[in-house]
Chains A and B, each alone.
Chain A
Amino acid sequence: MRIRDFSIRFNLSLLVISASALAVLLASLGFAIYEWQSYRASAVRELTALADTLGANTAASLAFNDQRTAKEMLSALATEPSVFVACLYDNQGRVFADYRRSGGPNTPLLPVLRSDGAYYDRESLTLFRGVVLKGERTGSIALVFDLRGFRSRLLEYAKIAMLVLFVSVLATFLASLRLAQSIAHPLVQLAAVAHRISTGKDYSVRAGVAGGETGLLVDSFNEMLSQIESRDRALKGALRSLQESEERYALAARGANDGLWDWNLVTGEIYFSPRWGQMLGYSESECWTTPEQWFSHIHAEDRERVRAAITAHRDGKTPEFVSEYRMRKKSGGYIWTLSRGIAVRDPAGKAIRMAGSQTDITEGKIVDPLTRLPNRPYFMDRLGSAIETARQQKKLFAVLFVDLDQFKLVNDSLGHAAGDELLIDFAGRLRAGVRSNSRRNGSAESVVARIGGDEFAIFLGQIQCETDASTIATRVLKRLGEPFHIDGRKIFVSASIGIALSSTGRTPEELLNNADTAMYQAKTNGKARFEFFNEGLRKLVVTRFEIETGLRKAIDTHQLVLYYQPIVAASDSRLCGLEALVRWNHPERGLILPGEFIPVAEESDLIVLLGRWVLVEACRQMAEWQKTFASGPSLTISVNVSARQLSDPRLMEDVQFALAESGLNPKSLALEMTESSIMGDTKQTLEILDRLKAMKIRLQIDDFGTGYSSLSRLQRLPFDDLKIDRSFIRDLSAGNSSADIVKAIMQLAHSLKLEVVAEGVETEEQLSSLRQLGCDYMQGFLFSKPVDAEAAAGLYREACEADPFSLASALL
């Protein structure tokens, strides 16, 4: 007790004394440094002013080589006691005049001339400065300043500082003795009380009273003791009521059919209620005792997630532990369970125990609530185990992917309720169609599941061959042939089915994807049908995918190029226009023709992007040529517009942009569109065509004769030209049926005030036949195949250099 007492007081005294000593030392040092710095600065300032005055006064002496007057000038320094040497130098560095103070150091040396500035040594400060006369340096001056006086003054300061230091240390020592006594005494008493409590465990003891902050400490200490005392009592009560509520919960849980678990995190022991075991098919005698038994029964895909949830709650990051996961039954299958739990923590917040319940939620997990069919996760699970069995037993099974063809239409036009009704009815028909098969084949297992909005999948177990699968698909399709009665209406809905046999894939996902791919193919082939998946199909899908992604990049990275095919007048073969044809300059595959990528582009938004690019580039190129060949004929540029572009509201903007950007006269632009793209719809198409026409753009019907044109519509549409499809021209020779058709088309066109362009003209014979029939323009290999921009420019140049008739001879 005495030692502790002494040590607090000793430490306090030491601290106070050293602090005051340090303060005095630092203050003295700071003062000395400041004094030295400012003294030096003022000395330099003073010397500089002196040197400048002396320099001005002696400049004339230097100029006129008058050492006598120079010396007189310097002797004026006698009034400056600190300057003991001055020296004037001429421009060659020779001493011109000097001054030495009597009473200075015995034999002061004249300083050697240095460059301008201040120089220090132990006893002096020497300043060198130029003597300048009207901007011309005529010499230098040096002044030596005596620092000894200042040094001795600093020494005096130091002596005083030491004295102050000694006095202040003595004073603080005396003061600290009293201070330490008054602070340390109550603390020492407090420590004694704390010691007594910790050894006696008697929380009713209280410390004595003291004043000031120490008094506050004593009060807080006593208050804390009171709190500990009351908490001690409350804890004991709480523990009792906890035990009671636990028992109540156990009773309730048994009633709710939940399994219970209680895990002592300190010892690692775990308790599972009998109901727990029953859920998984274990008898009461087969009870578990370790957490590892629990985790090992959790489905491998869920296990880490459950562990993480438990850890998170145990570390206090979540208010409770909740997790849904699958558990393996004794018999092998899985059930879905919902587990909840909560941790009991020690006063430090560390979890020491976790307890909770587990409920069987399998029913809700695997069934689609709308159609009451199994859902996707269940289906994939089932598929997984089927693959396993099929591999072991070398059995064949099939996966059917069923997709409603017009579901979106029903949903959008009749509403979601009708859509739901349709799905329920549809699910029933699927189930019925498949079940009748199961009955016929006896043991064969099948599952019908809803795996997406309007997507269904059928698992057909143990089929003998492809035909078994196609039989079912046919039957399902047949059942769909009957109308659905939705919302008081009769609706006809078809579906497309893709079938994948188990031999085509190794994982559930792969099989379902394959079936999906086949379904997609069935849709492409006309819907309301089924297709089998095969490797060719996969390749087709892959190629399409590659083209689609590649094309998107191609537009951005300028891999697309335009080729141009001349269109000539039928009468004299003079060049009248060029049709822009897009080519894909693929970095690996070389030049790809549009036939390969346009259909892919047409199925997505890409055609709009592609179309826009072609439009802008074609207009730009033609405008450039027209400027270059201003003296020649004004050619027309023809650009193809797809059906999808026509129905895209951005088409008008794109056309306007292309014209504005290039400055091309709209009369020089022709847009080609096929019959089918204009006949399909509607008011909107007509409106767009009218607007284009109003802009003075030429409109052409492309590939005429391959689609279905309504003559009455054709009459109303604002077209200028009609391009006869190459298939008619190919077979053209005088007197055959093609000639009759071409003749009829021309008559039709001319009566509709349309000019006729013949595509695909390849022979002289076709040329003369077409001339005879009154064709207006021609296009084909006979004149030129599509050529790149450079070659096209060459053709344009020839057309404007020669008279109109010589181009014909050049081309022919």
Chain B
Amino acid sequence: MKAAFLFHFAQFVDWPAGVLNSGDPSLNLCIFDDEPRRQELQSTIDGKAIGARIFHVRLISQPQEIPGCNILFLSRDEAGRQTAILKGLRGMPVLTVGETANFLSDGGMIRFHIADDKIRFDINLSGAESSHLKISSRLLLLATLVTQSGTADRGR
């Protein structure tokens, strides 16, 4: 379930021209390799097409490997280093998706939780904008909360 939603988020986001190398059609979702559901993630969404791009799930172990990612998913298990990672990513065109309550205030872009097969999510719009990511208004319509302030404001 979570895997499908991660994939759908990507469908409503446009990366700035030049970020996605036109020679390489990959769109990389990165997760840390200690994520317990990594197998499920890889088997359900890896290799799916998004428009002209191919969706890939990449496992990383170090935050240093993040620059090759287009989407970074930080699960609850990464709460310990979440603040540091998000801080390092500020302004970079990487869509960050997380689960913890303070994910948005830490500078993350989409925070979600699932209840009864339904997804609820909040979006930090200014975080996304400062990274030059465009989130479709159709996704915003579904969001429970859209916040204009966040780490981006704080960073100013």
Contact = CB atoms under 8 A, between A and B. Distances in A.
Interface residues of A, number: 14
B49 A135 contact: yes
A596 interface: no
Interface stretch (B60-68, B92-100, B134-142): B134-142
Contact of A66 (B11, B12, B118, B136): B118
Nearest to B7: A63
Contact of A135 (B50, B139, B142): B50
A57 B11 contact: no
B148 to A, nearest CB: 20
A63 B50 contact: no
Contacts of A136: 11, 48-50
A779 B118 CA distance: 111
B140 to A, nearest CB: 9
A56 B5 CA distance: 18
A56 B139 CA distance: 11
B23 interface: no
A64 B138 contact: no
A65 B2 CA distance: 12
Given A133-B11, A134-B11, A135-B51, A69 B119 contact: no
B49 A60 contact: no
A497 B117 CA distance: 125
Contact of A63 (B8, B49, B117): B8
B50 A60 contact: no
B143 to A, nearest CB: 10
B142 A60 contact: yes
A774 B127 CA distance: 119
A56 B8 contact: no
A59 interface: yes
B119 A64 contact: yes
Nearest to A59: B138
Interface string B131-153: 00000101101100000000000
B112 to A, nearest CB: 9
B5 A60 contact: no
A134 B50 contact: yes
Nearest to B51: A134
A764 B12 CA distance: 109
Nearest to A70: B142
A277 to B, nearest CB: 111
A65 B119 CA distance: 8
A66 B12 CA distance: 15
Nearest to A69: B142
A56 B119 CA distance: 20
A61 interface: yes
A64 B136 CA distance: 14
Interface in A57-88: 57, 59-61, 63-66, 69
Chain B, interface size: which category? 10 to 19
A130 to B, nearest CB: 15
Nearest to A134: B51
A59 B142 CA distance: 11
A57 B51 contact: no
Interface in A89-144: 133-136
Interface string B52-73: 1000000000000000000000
A782 to B, nearest CB: 85
Contacts of A59: 138
B145 to A, nearest CB: 15
Given A136-B11, A136-B50, A64 B141 contact: no
A61 B142 contact: yes
Contacts of B118: 65-66
Pick from B8, B117, B118 the residue with the most CB of A within 10 Å.
B8
A134 to B, nearest CB: 4
B51 A64 contact: no
B117 A60 contact: no
A699 to B, nearest CB: 78
Nearest to B4: A63
B138 A57 contact: yes
A11 B8 CA distance: 79
Contacts of A134: 11, 50-51
Contacts of B51: 134-135
Contacts of A60: 8, 12, 136, 138-139, 141-142
A63 B11 contact: yes
A57 B117 CA distance: 21
A59 B139 CA distance: 9
A128 B155 CA distance: 49
A66 B120 CA distance: 9
Contacts of B5: 63-64
B142 A56 contact: no
Nearest to B8: A63
Contact of B117 (A61, A65, A69, A133): A65
27 contacts: A60-B8, A60-B136, A60-B139, A60-B142, A63-B5, A63-B11, A64-B5, A64-B8, A64-B119, A64-B121, A64-B142, A65-B117, A65-B118, A66-B119, A66-B142, A69-B141, A69-B142, A133-B11, A134-B11, A134-B50, A134-B51, A135-B49, A135-B50, A135-B52, A136-B48, A136-B49, A136-B50
Given A56-B138, A63-B11, 4 more contacts: A63-B8, A69-B141, A134-B51, A135-B52
8 nearest A-B pairs in the assembled complex, by CB-CB distance: A63-B8, A60-B138, A134-B51, A134-B11, A135-B51, A64-B119, A134-B50, A60-B142
